[in-house]
Structure 1
Amino acid sequence: MSDESSGKAPVAELLMLIGGEFRKSFDGGWIDVENPTNEETVYRVPQGGAEDARLALQAAEAARSEWAAMPAVERGRLLVSFAGKIRENRERLAGMLTAEQGKTYELALGEVDVSADFIEFAAHGARRLEGDILPSDNPDEHIWIHKVPYGVCVGIAAWNFPLALACRKLGPALTAGNVMVIKPPSETPAAVMALGQLALEAGLPAGVLNLVTGGGSTMGTELVTNPITRLVTMTGSTATGQRIFGMCADNLTAVRLELGGKAPFILLEDGDVDKAVEAAMVSRYLNCGQVCTCSERFYIHDAVHDEFVRKFVDASAKLKLGDPMDPETDLGPKVNRHELERMEAMVSRAIEQGCTLALGGKRPEGPAYGKGYWYEPTILTGATNEMEVMREEVFGVVSPIMRIGSFEEAIRLANDSDYGLSAFLFTRDMRKIQRAVLELEFGEIYVNRAMGEQRQGFHNGHKLSGTGGEDGKYGLENYLEKKTFYVNFGD
Structure 2
Amino acid sequence: MIYKCIINNKFVESSSGRTIPVRNPANTEQVVGEVPSLTVEETEQAIRSSYEAFKVWSNTGPSKRAEILRQAVKVARERQNEIAKLLTLEQGKPFSEAKEEVKASLDSIEYFADNILSVLGETYSTEKNNRLSLVLKQPVGVVAAIVPWNYPLLLLSWKVGPALAVGCTVVAKPSSYTPLSTLELVKCFLEAGLPAGVLNVVTGTNKEVGEVLISHPLISKIAFTGSTDVGKHVMSEASKTVKKLTLELGGNCPMIVFEDADVSIAAKDGVRRSFRNAGQICNAVNRMYVHKSIFSDFVDVFLEETKKIKVGNGLEEGVTMGPLTTLEGWRRVESAVKEALEKGAKVLYGGKKPSGDKFEKGYFYEPTVLVETDHTMKVVKEEMFGPTAPIMVFESFDEAISMANDTDYGLVAYVYTKDLTKALRASMLLQCGTVGVNNVVGGEFAYPYGGWKQSGFGVENSHHAYEQYLLLKHVRIDY
Q: Choose from 437, 455, 467 the match for 1:465.
A: 455
- 8 Å CA contact 1:75, 1:126 repeated in 2: no
Shift of 1:157: 0.3
2:16 paired with 1:35: no
**What CA deviation, in whole Å up to 9, does each residue of 1:421-458 have, x standing for no partner?**
00000011111112122211000111001224322101
Structure 1 length normalisation: TM-score? 0.96
Task: State how 1:22-421 maps to structure 2 within 5 Å.
Answer: 22-39=11-28, 40-421=30-411
- 8 Å CA contact 2:58, 2:139 repeated in 1: yes
Rounded Cα–Cα distance in structure 2 between residues aligned with 1:323 and 1:21: 34
Rounded Cα–Cα distance in structure 2 between residues aligned with 1:204 and 1:479: 19
Shift of 1:365: 0.5
Q: Choose from 394, 408, 422 the match for 1:432.
A: 422
Q: Indicate the SS of the match to 1:248.
A: helix
Q: Indicate the SS of the match to 1:354.
A: coil
Rounded Cα–Cα distance in structure 2 between residues aligned with 1:451 and 1:391: 22
Give the partner amino acid of 1:258.
Answer: E
Quick check: 276-285 or 251-260, which moved more?
276-285
**What CA deviation, in whole Å up to 9, does each residue of 1:235-291 have, x standing for no partner?**
111111110011000100011000110000100111110110121121111111111
Shift of 1:218: 2.2
Rounded Cα–Cα distance in structure 1 between residues aligned with 2:21 and 2:294: 48
**What CA deviation, in whole Å up to 9, does each residue of 1:341-396 have, x standing for no partner?**
11100000011111111111111101221211111110110111232211100011
Rounded Cα–Cα distance in structure 1 between residues aligned with 2:241 and 2:309: 49
Q: Choose from 440, 453, 460 the match for 2:443.
A: 453
**What CA deviation, in whole Å up to 9, does each residue of 1:286-329 have, x standing for no partner?**
11111100100011110111111111012102211112112311
Give the partner amino acid of 2:24.
Answer: N
Quick check: 223-232 or 140-149, which moved more?
140-149
Shift of 1:330: 1.0
Rounded Cα–Cα distance in structure 1 between residues aligned with 2:8 and 2:55: 14
Quick check: 433-442 or 101-110, which moved more?
433-442
Give the partner amino acid of 1:19.
Answer: N
2:431 paired with 1:441: yes
Give the partner amino acid of 1:376.
Answer: E
- 8 Å CA contact 2:266, 2:416 repeated in 1: yes
Shift of 1:475: 1.0
Rounded Cα–Cα distance in structure 1 between residues aligned with 2:381 and 2:179: 30
Rounded Cα–Cα distance in structure 1 between residues aligned with 2:65 and 2:384: 40
Shift of 1:197: 2.1
- 8 Å CA contact 2:252, 2:285 repeated in 1: yes
Identity of aligned residues (%): 35
Shift of 1:53: 1.2
Q: How many residues align?
A: 478
Rounded Cα–Cα distance in structure 1 between residues aligned with 2:429 and 2:107: 33
Rounded Cα–Cα distance in structure 2 between residues aligned with 1:163 and 1:28: 27
Rounded Cα–Cα distance in structure 1 between residues aligned with 2:159 and 2:211: 19
Rounded Cα–Cα distance in structure 2 between residues aligned with 1:175 and 1:129: 10
Shift of 1:477: 1.3
Output the aligned Cα RMSD: 1.0
- 8 Å CA contact 1:172, 1:475 repeated in 2: yes
Give the partner amino acid of 2:238.
Answer: C
In structure 2, what is the equivalent of residue 4 of structure 1? none
Q: Indicate the SS of the match to 2:133.
A: strand
Rounded Cα–Cα distance in structure 1 between residues aligned with 2:445 and 2:282: 17
Rounded Cα–Cα distance in structure 2 between residues aligned with 1:141 and 1:327: 68
Rounded Cα–Cα distance in structure 1 between residues aligned with 2:144 and 2:271: 35
- 8 Å CA contact 2:19, 2:34 repeated in 1: yes
Segments of structure 1 that go 5 or more residues without pairing to the other structure are 1-11
Q: Indicate the SS of the match to 2:376.
A: coil
In structure 2, what is the equivalent of residue 15 of structure 1? 4
Q: Indicate the SS of the match to 2:58.
A: helix
- 8 Å CA contact 2:348, 2:368 repeated in 1: yes
Rounded Cα–Cα distance in structure 1 between residues aligned with 2:298 and 2:427: 25
- 8 Å CA contact 1:415, 1:441 repeated in 2: yes
In structure 2, what is the equivalent of residue 484 of structure 1? 474
Shift of 1:203: 0.3
Shift of 1:407: 1.2
Q: Indicate the SS of the match to 2:65.
A: helix
Rounded Cα–Cα distance in structure 1 between residues aligned with 2:108 and 2:319: 27
- 8 Å CA contact 2:412, 2:442 repeated in 1: no
Q: Indicate the SS of the match to 1:383.
A: coil
Rounded Cα–Cα distance in structure 2 between residues aligned with 1:385 and 1:303: 21
Shift of 1:195: 2.5
Give the partner amino acid of 1:69.
Answer: N
Rounded Cα–Cα distance in structure 2 between residues aligned with 1:474 and 1:378: 37
Rounded Cα–Cα distance in structure 1 between residues aligned with 2:427 and 2:350: 35
Q: Indicate the SS of the match to 1:194.
A: helix
